[in-house]
């Protein structure tokens, strides 16, 4: 059951919030005075009657300094709670809010439908954190799984696999998935998710974001499925400014904050791809059903074995599978010397979903490609219930 603790003295805002919840979301709203922001977390939560508190919402009339102070203390003492701020803060205040642990910002003028979406996101985030908090020992935060989706050759559908994998994982871990576009010159994650990002990876690896994970979160974009995204640079020339060391730091930051980090890498084995593999717990190798793609994967696997850059988890996706190519799944497995884990048949729905900016797994049409991509996502979700995998460099130590 969801429980919302609202701090405000503005009756109109309370009324719209209640309209957002009534008859749609479980749980009730309890309103207390805006002055309650000056309380300690313990005293604040003792004001909550009945169900456990899931979301603390600061109304637009709450003193900002008091709200940020209380949010920081709640983040330390009750990290499972979602704290939301209603207001129209200045850009510098947004950074301060993120640093304080505030998870979302609502426009006070939002209608009930918009407020409902915001509260649903907050509840999903709380549920996800509570599930993660029950894993492991001593309540310690577990490092997220870092999944590098890659292929030595381009044109095999890596971005399609990456974005659908992220969407599929978000169903099992709401608000716990981030996808990073590491095709730094010509990445397509933004268009695949129909995003127009305000910030890109070129912003995130410099300045305060490189030092503070809460600031980094302010640079992420959120799509309609609940997947966070860090999109590629808008100017291909910016790729030259990003070093492999910065990529490694970025991945480590995100792995500390998210349950799954999906990396959509560039074709080939450039320095950024190798840096990603250093941090990866899993590699998803995408291969097409054609001889050049199979030969490219064979060569790439051979190089990585020599470099000892093979992550602990290995998953092979055969994309664009089609009997009319003259090759079979067995032919591909014999050529690359390892089994194919997931087969994604050729489907006219895939280019249609790509052109719409809506990953296939968001739709209701469950054809063979949908089932293959869903199987891949469930493979990771099921694996995560077992022993956690380690980054490649920890395996070698």
Q: Which helix (H) or strand (E) holds 82?
A: strand 82-86
Q: Do domains 4-133 and 145-396 have the same CATH topology?
A: yes
| Cα 165 to the center of its chain, rounded Å | 10
pTM tops 0.85:
no
Give the pLDDT of residue 41. Answer: 92
For domain 4-133, give the CATH superfamily: Response regulator (3.40.50.2300)
Edge-to-edge strands, sheet with 260-265: 221-222, 228-230, 177-182, 260-265, 145-150, 282-288, 313-321, 342-345
Q: What is the pLDDT of residue 263?
A: 97
What would the pLDDT profile of 319-368 be if each residue is shown by its tens digit? 999 988 889 999 999 999 899 999 999 999 999 998 999 999 998 888 99
Q: Does domain 145-396 have CATH number 3.40.50.300?
A: yes
What does the pLDDT read at residue 256?
Answer: 84
Residue 135 has pLDDT above 60, yes or no: no
Domain boundaries, the chain: 4-133, 145-396
CB 176 within 8 A of CB 260: yes
Non-local (6+) Cβ contacts of 58 within 8 A are 7, 8, 37, 67, 71, 83, 84, 85, 86, 87
Q: If DSSP states are collapsed to H, E and C, what string results for 337-380?
A: CCCCCEEEECCCHHHHHHHHCCCHHHCCCCCHHHHHHHHHHHHH
Closest CA to 360 of 197, 179, 163: 163
Has residue 149 got a pLDDT over 50? yes
What angle (nearest 5°) sits at the alpha carbon of residue 350, between those of residues 348 and 351? Answer: 80
For the segment 248-253, the average pLDDT, to the nearest whole number, is: 90
Could you tell me if 294 and 187 are in contact, meaning their C-beta atoms sit under 8 angstroms apart?
no
State yes or no: pLDDT of 134 exceeds 90: no
Q: For residue 65, what pLDDT band results from cuts at 50, 70 and 90?
A: very high
């Amino acid at each position: 059951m969801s429980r919302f603790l609202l701090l405000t003295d503005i009756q109109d805002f309370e009324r719209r919030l209640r309209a957002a919840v009534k008859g749609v979301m479980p749980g009730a709203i309890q309103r207390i005075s805006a002055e309650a922001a000056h309380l300690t977390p313990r005293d604040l939560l003792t004001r909550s009657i009945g169900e456990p508190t899931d979301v603390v919402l600061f109304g637009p009339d709450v003193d900002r300094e008091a709200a940020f102070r209380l949010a920081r203390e709640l983040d330390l003492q009750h990290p499972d709670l979602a704290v939301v701020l209603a207001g129209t803060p200045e850009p510098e205040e947004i950074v301060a809010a993120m640093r304080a642990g505030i998870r979302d910002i609502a426009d006070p003028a939002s209608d009930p439908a918009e407020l409902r979406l915001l509260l649903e996101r907050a509840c999903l985030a709380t549920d996800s954190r509570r599930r993660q908090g029950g894993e492991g020992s001593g309540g310690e935060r577990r490092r997220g799984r870092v999944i590098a989706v890659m292929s030595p050759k381009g044109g095999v559908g890596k971005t399609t696999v990456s974005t659908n994998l992220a969407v599929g994982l978000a169903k099992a871990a709401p608000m716990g998935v981030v996808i990073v576009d590491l095709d730094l010159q010509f990445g397509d994650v933004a268009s695949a998710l129909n995003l127009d990002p305000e910030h890109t990876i070129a912003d995130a690896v410099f300045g305060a974001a490189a030092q503070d994970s809460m600031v980094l979160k302010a640079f992420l974009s959120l799509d309609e499925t609940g997947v966070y995204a860090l999109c590629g640079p808008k100017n291909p020339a910016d790729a030259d400014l990003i070093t492999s060391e910065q990529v490694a730091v970025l991945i480590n930051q995100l792995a500390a904050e998210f349950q799954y980090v999906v990396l959509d890498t560039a074709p080939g084995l450039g320095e950024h791809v190798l840096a990603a593999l250093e941090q990866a717990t899993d590699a998803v190798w995408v291969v097409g059903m054609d001889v050049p793609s199979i030969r490219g994967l064979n060569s790439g696997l051979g190089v990585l074995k020599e470099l000892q850059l093979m992550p602990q988890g290995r998953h092979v996706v055969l994309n664009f599978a089609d009997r009319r190519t003259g090759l079979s799944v067995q032919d591909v497995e014999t050529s690359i010397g390892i089994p194919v884990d997931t087969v994604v048949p050729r489907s006219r729905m895939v280019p249609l979903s790509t052109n719409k900016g809506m990953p296939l797994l968001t739709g209701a049409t469950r054809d063979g490609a949908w089932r293959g991509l869903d199987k891949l996502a469930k493979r990771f979700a099921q694996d995560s219930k077992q022993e956690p995998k380690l980054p490649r460099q920890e395996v070698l130590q």
